[in-house]
Amino acid sequence: MPTVLRIGPYRFYFYPYDVLHEPPHIHVGRDRDEAKFWLDPVVLERNRGFAGHELRTIEKLVREHEAELLNAWNDVANH
């Protein structure tokens, strides 16, 4: 599972086989917490453990880096 980005305590990643079966998305993890966001448009798909205020911070980061995250997804999908 390639790590696309690290910001503070957050790791942004996806599973390479996901590009075959799902629309573009990113997983965000910190410790044992994880969230999954669709990327086009940015929408929370699932949350496991993050508090609401932290999810808003993470969503803002996903939006700020949306193009970079989509490029990383497309690089894997096209190879």
Prediction pTM value: 0.94
In tens, the pLDDT along 13-56 reads 998 888 888 999 999 999 999 999 999 999 999 999 999 999 99
Q: Considering its fold, how many domains does the chain have in total?
A: 1
For 14-23, letters b (16+ CB in 10 Å) and e give beeebbeeee
Beta-ladder partners of 47: 35
pLDDT at 19: 85
Q: Give the domain extent around 59.
A: 3-77
